[in-house]
């Protein structure tokens, strides 16, 4: 029986998909789409980036994986999330 994907896994797969289908001019829209998929949680985006980094270290050298990591890294940087930071509670 298959378990459902975690939200960060969904975001990672979406990043790879969007990275292959969009141009650089659409990066703000991609960032918005990824943030929405992450439930507006920058920590989920950072976790998705970590998943991509782990996959990138695999010897396959897949170009789609690299593009997905690049898109997520740009998105995380654009949103200003730092590793170890936590969202403020309301």
In the chain, where the domains are located: 7-79
pLDDT above 60 for 49? yes
> Does residue 60 register a pLDDT over 50?
yes
pTM above 0.85, yes or no: no
CA distance 70 to 19: 8
Burial 65-90 (b: 16+ CB within 10 A, else e): bebbbebbbbbbeeeebeeeeeeeee
Predicted confidence (pLDDT) at residue 88 exceeds the cutoff of 60 = no
Position 89 pLDDT exceeds 50:
no
């Amino acid at each position: 029986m298959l378990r459902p994907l975690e939200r960060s896994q969904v975001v990672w797969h979406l990043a790879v998909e969007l990275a292959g289908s969009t141009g650089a001019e659409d990066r703000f829209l991609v960032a918005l789409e990824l943030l929405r998929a992450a439930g507006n949680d920058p920590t989920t985006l950072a976790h998705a980036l970590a998943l991509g980094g782990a996959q990138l270290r695999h010897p396959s050298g897949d170009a789609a994986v690299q593009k997905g990591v690049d898109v997520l890294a740009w998105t995380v940087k654009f949103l200003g999330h730092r590793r170890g930071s936590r969202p403020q509670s309301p």
